[in-house]
């Protein structure tokens, strides 16, 4: 998980994504034309993506298979967080980007994106921080936070079963790992240079209720394995 998250899921949508959005929201050709005319306006796109019909078409009607991870996770995360009272668009976008980049198995046979995990032990990141230079520390904090953001948000049952079998830390422990590393990254000078200081701080403060809401949605609608 060495790539840096790039906020702005909608900039990475595919042609099939936009087709899905039009088909889900438009009842007539006039509606379709109106939606198309709005898609060049980033602010209008953000409003369109908030429409509850997208979540219903994607998960309730099981039409997610054709979509990019960016659209899938943005609609999933945004709907879930708003329902839990977390209405900050930047928080939803950041979590969606991280989940899109690192949250899905490559094949149906894989229960976890294990090939993308650097370590299941937060102590390894602490050790890396002790030997890292000032700038490298920022990326380690972000990498650690993002890894456990994915695991705690999408695979809570994996962590819970691992805790039961091996006496490993449970979900709540790793939730605090996410929060502490996001806070540390948000205070780093590079966070300001990447214009992520506010976003990282907001995600950290909103993460506990956001994580619990995501766990509920994953168990209700998805089958990502344990």
pTM assigned to the model: 0.85
207-220: buried (b, 16+ CB within 10 Å) or exposed (e) per residue?
A: bbebbbbbbebbee
pLDDT of residue 119: 53
Q: What is the pLDDT of residues 164-211, one digit of tens each?
A: 888 888 999 999 999 999 999 999 999 999 999 999 999 999 999 999
pLDDT of residue 145: 93
pLDDT of residue 116: 45
Mean confidence (pLDDT) of the chain: 84
Q: What is the pLDDT of residues 16-58, one digit of tens each?
A: 999 899 888 888 888 888 888 888 787 888 888 999 899 888 8
pLDDT of residue 105: 52
The span from the CA of 222 to the CA of 215, in Å, is 10
Residue 2 confidence class, pLDDT cut points 50, 70, 90: very low
pLDDT of residue 114: 43
Burial status of residue 3 (CB atoms within 10 A of its CB: 0-12, 13-18, 19 or more): exposed
The percent of residues in the chain predicted with pLDDT above 90, rounded, is: 48
Q: Greater confidence, 125 or 46?
A: 46
The percent of residues in the chain predicted with pLDDT above 70, rounded, is: 84
Q: What are the backbone angles phi and psi of residue 138, rounded to the nearest 5°?
A: -60, -50
């Amino acid at each position: 998980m060495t790539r840096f998250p790039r906020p702005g899921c909608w900039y990475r949508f595919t042609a099939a994504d936009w087709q899905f959005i039009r088909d889900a929201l438009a009842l007539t050709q006039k509606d379709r034309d109106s939606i198309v005319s709005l898609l060049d306006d980033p602010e209008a796109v953000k409003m369109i993506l908030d429409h509850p019909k997208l979540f219903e078409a994607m998960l309730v009607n099981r039409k997610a298979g054709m979509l990019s991870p960016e659209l899938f996770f943005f609609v999933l995360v945004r709907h879930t967080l708003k329902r839990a009272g977390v209405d900050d668009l930047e928080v939803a976008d950041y979590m969606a980007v991280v989940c899109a980049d690192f949250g899905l198995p490559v094949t149906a046979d894989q229960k976890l994106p294990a090939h993308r995990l650097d370590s299941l032990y937060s102590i390894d990141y602490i050790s890396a921080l002790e030997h890292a230079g000032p700038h490298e520390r920022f990326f380690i904090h972000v990498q650690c936070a993002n890894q456990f953001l994915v695991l705690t948000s999408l695979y809570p049952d994996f962590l819970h079963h691992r805790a039961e079998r091996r006496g490993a830390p449970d979900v709540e422990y790793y939730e605090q790992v996410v929060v502490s590393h996001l806070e540390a990254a948000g205070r780093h000078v590079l966070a300001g240079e990447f214009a992520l200081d506010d976003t990282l701080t907001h995600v950290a403060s909103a993460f506990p209720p956001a994580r619990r809401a995501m766990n509920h949605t994953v168990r209700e609608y998805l089958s990502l394995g344990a």
